[in-house]
Amino acid sequence: MLTLIVSFFSSVYATKWKEFFPQKELEYPPSFHARVISCATLEVLQVYLAWRQNACHSDNLCRTCFWMLIRSGKTIEEAKEALKDCQKEEKNELLFQRFGINYKKLPEMFRQGSCIFKTEVEVVVKYDEHGNPIKRLRRKPNIVHTQNIVAKKFWNEQLVLVKELGGFEDEIAKIKTEYVKSFLFENKLLPSTYIVIRIDGCHFHRFSDIHGFEKPNDAQALNLMNTCAVAVLKEFHDIVFAYGVSDEYSFVLRKNSQFNQRQASVYKTDNIFSSQIVSAIVSFFSTMYAMKWKEFFPQKNLKYPPSFDGRAVCYPSEEILQDYLAWRQVDCHINNQYNTCFWMLVKSGKTKAEAQQCLKGTQTQEKYELLSRQFGTDYSSLPVMFRQGSFVYRMKLQEVVVDHSNIIERSFWKEYSSILEEMPAHTSAANECTQTSVSAS
Ligand code: GTP
Ligand code: MG
């Protein structure tokens, strides 16, 4: 849920950008971090929401004062000094006396944040034979602004909230942020292991159908995935290798990764938390996918924002990591060989059920023969990207490249031994992305 929500949110953000900033390009993919707070009781939820809204109140008041001071000619240091130890009332006073601003008159959205919840509204679902509208109750999300989100009066008047979550019985007198924070559980990842973050397209069966991807493989769709993976390696310097096939990508973080490079703000401690790293990567990948779509499908509109799920798994040794990657590539081979046969049978006139029946219980060799005998196709002559997937790594001089090869054989890892070697601190040299194609091995 955590990764799906953050991925979908990121993807929507990128796709909606132009609607809100028609004159501005989205210069780089924004990403969001997510975490789970399990609110065990309604009271904890109430305290949590109040905490977030209080943070909004005080941050916004502070920012408003700060920027008014800057606009009036103060330097950043002077503005900070003027607001140091300043209480809420003093800030209100400063805005009023000095700038003639009544803080309470500023837009509600700035001061209070926004609540979104579904309310039941009547909508026309169809018309009867006489042209009369037939209405049904449907739930629609609404944006609401309110001074106090956990005020008994406000909350208990929202029937949907009371029905779904329950009603508040008391106003909360004192907010103890530490109490809420104690409900924040984080999954700490094992140190000194190879961390693999695997992301996978959510319902891509439907997504590829709706966007008319070529079956069984759409080269442009795969190139788009590869370009996003290259961007991830450029952004997250601790990722040393990635392997992708179909709608999935596995990102390998180097052992002993400290996450203290460009993403420093995400990783404030030596502890590596699963939700932080997974959400940062899945969010970045999703935004990139939506941003780059037009480059790869200039004739097709993105009909809805795609989303990806993500998970983190720790592998303690190089061998086990290589076994993991081999498993993904074996999967690629099995699926691709099956899909190639299946779609050739369907394109030759068989129904999907007949094609399925034809392939039931067949082994690799039989599928090779079927393709060659029935369709004159030599499976090994099909594009290597379809048969073996793609891998992304950082070459010397920090160049990030996409390549295709057999990564199951240990000889691959001998040839590319530098990939998993512990690296010295990276240089911040700008990376160049190049696509190389290497013949099948
Ligand atoms: P979840 O991952 O469980 O949400 O379901 P999913 O529908 O994404 O299925 P899954 O991840 O198991 O498999 C990926 C699916 O994406 C494939 O079954 C295809 O339907 C589709 N897909 C991925 N790449 C391509 C492609 O290049 N061409 C076409 N036509 N479909 C593709
Ligand atoms: Mg999928």
Ligand approaching nearest to the C-alpha of 222: 1
Based on the number of CB atoms within 10 Å of its own CB, is 92 exposed (0-12), middle (13-18) or buried (19 or more)?
A: middle
Ligand approaching nearest to the C-alpha of 208: 1
Ligand approaching nearest to the C-alpha of 216: 1
221 lines ligand 1 (CB under 6 A): yes
Distance CA 355, CA 343 (A): 8
Instruction: Please give the helix or strand (H or E) that residue 332 lies within, else none.
Output: helix 318-347
- The residue written with tokens 């990121």 in the block is 10
Distance CA 152, CA 373 (A): 74
Give the per-residue pLDDT at 361: 93
Atom of ligand 1 nearest to the CA of 213: 30
Ligand approaching nearest to the C-alpha of 205: 1
Going by CA atoms, what residue is nearest to atom 17 of ligand 1?
A: 205
- The residue written with tokens 């103060």 in the block is 74
Strand ordering across the sheet containing 308-315: 308-315, 194-201, 248-253, 239-245, 390-394, 400-403, 433-435
Task: For a ligand 1 pocket test, name from 3, 203, 205 the mutation site with the most ligand atoms within 8 angstroms of its C-beta.
Answer: 205
Q: At what angle do helices 274-296 and 219-235 cross, to 10 degrees?
A: 130
Atom of ligand 1 nearest to the CA of 247: 23
307 lines ligand 1 (CB under 6 A): no
336 lines ligand 1 (CB under 6 A): no
Structure token digits, residue 221 = 């769709």
Q: In DSSP terms, which residues pair with 313 in a beta bridge?
A: 196
247 lines ligand 1 (CB under 6 A): yes
Give the per-residue pLDDT at 175: 64
Q: Kindly give the distance from the C-alpha atom of residue 200 to the centroid of ligand 2, in angstroms, as a whole number.
A: 5
Give the per-residue pLDDT at 53: 94
Ligand 2 ion: residues within 5 Å (CB): 200-201, 204, 247
Q: Kindly give the distance from the C-alpha atom of residue 282 to the centroid of ligand 2, in angstroms, as a whole number.
A: 13
Quick count: other Cβ atoms within 10 Å of Cβ 54? 15
Q: Kindly give the distance from the C-alpha atom of residue 216 to the centroid of ligand 1, in angstroms, as a whole number.
A: 10
Distance CA 38, CA 54 (A): 20
Give the per-residue pLDDT at 432: 34
Evaluated on CA atoms 276, 34, 202, 232, the torsion sign reads: negative
Going by CA atoms, what residue is nearest to atom 15 of ligand 1?
A: 205
Going by CA atoms, what residue is nearest to atom 24 of ligand 1?
A: 246
Going by CA atoms, what residue is nearest to atom 32 of ligand 1?
A: 208
352 lines ligand 1 (CB under 6 A): no
Q: Kindly give the distance from the C-alpha atom of residue 339 to the centroid of ligand 2, in angstroms, as a whole number.
A: 15
Q: Kindly give the distance from the C-alpha atom of residue 209 to the centroid of ligand 1, in angstroms, as a whole number.
A: 9
The CATH code belonging to domain 194-419 is 3.30.70.3000
Distance CA 50, CA 148 (A): 8
217 lines ligand 1 (CB under 6 A): yes
Three-state DSSP at 146 gives coil
Give the per-residue pLDDT at 266: 42
338 lines ligand 1 (CB under 6 A): no
Structure token digits, residue 21 = 């900033």
> What residue spans in the chain does CATH classification 3.30.70.3000 cover?
194-419
pTM of the model as a whole: 0.88
Residue 421 per-residue DSSP state = S
Radius of gyration of the chain measured on its C-alpha atoms: 27
Q: Kindly give the distance from the C-alpha atom of residue 387 to the centroid of ligand 2, in angstroms, as a whole number.
A: 18
Task: For a ligand 1 pocket test, name from 4, 208, 289 the mutation site with the most ligand atoms within 8 angstroms of its C-beta.
Answer: 208
Nearest in space to 239 (alpha carbons), one of 221, 215, 257, 223: 257
Q: Spell out the per-residue pLDDT of the chain, length 441, in tens.
A: 999 999 999 999 999 999 999 999 999 999 999 988 888 888 889 999 999 999 999 999 999 999 999 999 999 999 999 999 999 999 999 999 999 999 999 999 999 999 999 888 888 999 999 999 999 988 899 899 999 999 999 999 998 899 999 998 887 777 677 888 888 777 888 888 999 999 999 999 999 999 999 999 999 999 999 999 999 999 998 899 999 999 999 999 988 776 543 343 344 445 678 888 999 999 999 999 999 999 999 999 999 999 999 999 999 999 999 999 999 999 999 999 999 999 999 999 999 999 999 999 999 999 999 999 999 999 999 999 999 999 999 987 789 999 999 999 999 999 999 888 865 544 333 333 333 333 332
Going by CA atoms, what residue is nearest to atom 2 of ligand 1?
A: 202
Q: Kindly give the distance from the C-alpha atom of residue 157 to the centroid of ligand 2, in angstroms, as a whole number.
A: 41
Distance CA 6, CA 12 (A): 10
Going by CA atoms, what residue is nearest to atom 28 of ligand 1?
A: 217
Ligand approaching nearest to the C-alpha of 225: 1
